[in-house]
Amino acid sequence: MSYPLNKERFDISLRFWLERFFYSKLMGLTAHRIKNKEEFAQIIQDIQSGGRNSIEDIKSICKRARKIGLLGINTYANPLFIFYEYCIKLGFEDMREINTDNVQEFLSIYTSNLSLATIRNYQFALTNFFDFIQKHNILESGASYTYTMNITFSSKSSQQELPDFLTEEELNIFLNALKTYDLNQKHINASVRLRNQLIILMIIYSGARVSEILEIGYKDISLEDNYYVLRLRGKGNKMRVVFILKQLIEYYYNEWKIIRNNIPNATDDMPFFINKKFRIPAQSYIYVVIESLLSSVGIRKAKNGAHLLRHSFATMLYSKSNDLILVQESLGHSSVETSRIYTHFDNKRLKHAANVISNIDNKLEK
């Protein structure tokens, strides 16, 4: 369906396109785990104001969407809200005034101190946004306005950053800290403590994203011989299967399953890690728990979050198997090139390179 590119004012026009874009994303995101269908229907209704919602109203709608399980909206929300404020400051009067130079300037200003992954997320969100407008706008002449957004990577974004990871020794220290879980945190009882331990152990031993573990369904975990089989739903709603050796999580799994089965009115169609209100823990909460555990044993990395455990899994998997395809399949990467970064941590190969090049000096002496 096509819509006029411009409304009576630029700010209304831009908010209108933000609303249409977020509407399309909300409708496209996987909603199979959403139990509050009434709230979801209300969110869909509220996001269609024709640009009359304030930017704060649209932010609030996106937050409501996240709370009911539509976490994918995070990919687009923050970059586009900041870009909206940037455009308003520039004083545009027509949607056609926004061009590649404006977007490139925005990225240079607002992403200079961000990580490579975040920069790419900004670029992805903006590219998708203008592609959407291009496909759905119509001018008075009946033609569509074409945005030629050739967004290029900055010098920083063209370089691939090496992720932090835990060494095998550090990982053993962390696992010991996780088992004792000696943290003075509010609202922590025995069941919450056990649940957190199981979530983190699953991340460590599967290399899964924290969102994949938090959203895993009760029916998505089964036992096959001496392995727990986890059916994960990753980015782009792609399904994959990972295995965890039974003995590594059996105690925690069985104990949590007993607690989970005693939650009144809980069903097998709900996520595995729910509380009495049928809600799953927030990703940010699990990040805080992991950071606290790392700090408690004196381990400090640039980023002490759940993704550090995923990087540690991948690094150790490659160093012990030298199988890049195995890393790709285990992490759920769409391309083996994404997994190739973990080859940088293969110290055996790097030491071999040092030994090979040392022969040059030996030959020169002769």
Q: Known catalytic residue: 310?
A: yes
Per-residue pLDDT at 302:
72
Cα separation values, 251 from 131, 166, 203, 226, 319, Å: 50, 25, 16, 14, 29
User: What's the pLDDT tens digit per position in 109-140?
Assistant: 888 778 777 888 898 899 999 999 999 999 98
How high is the mean pLDDT of the chain? 85
Is residue 142 pLDDT above 60, yes or no? yes
Predicted local confidence at residue 47, as pLDDT:
94
pLDDT digits (tens, 9 = 90+) for 188-215: 788 999 999 999 999 999 999 888 999 9
List pLDDT tens digits, range 269-291.
999 999 998 989 888 889 889 98
Cα–Cα separations (whole angstroms), residue 133 to 45, 136, 137, 146: 20, 5, 6, 9
365 has a pLDDT exceeding 60 = no
* 263: pLDDT strictly greater than 80: yes
Active site residue 307: yes
245, 32, 25, 85: CA torsion to nearest 10: -80
- From the candidates 205, 252, 318, 342, give the one annotated as an active-site residue: 342
Neighbours of 276 (CB within 10 A): 11
The catalytically annotated residue of 63, 235, 276, 351 is 235
Residue 311 annotated among the catalytic residues of the structure: no
The question of whether 333 is a catalytic residue gets the answer yes
Mean pLDDT of the 256-281 span? 93
Verdict on whether the full-model pTM lies above 0.85: no
Catalytic residue among 15, 20, 209, 311: 209
Segment 76-105, tens digit of pLDDT: 999 999 999 999 999 999 999 998 888 988
CA distances from 281 to 22, 67, 214, 215 (A): 24, 10, 7, 9
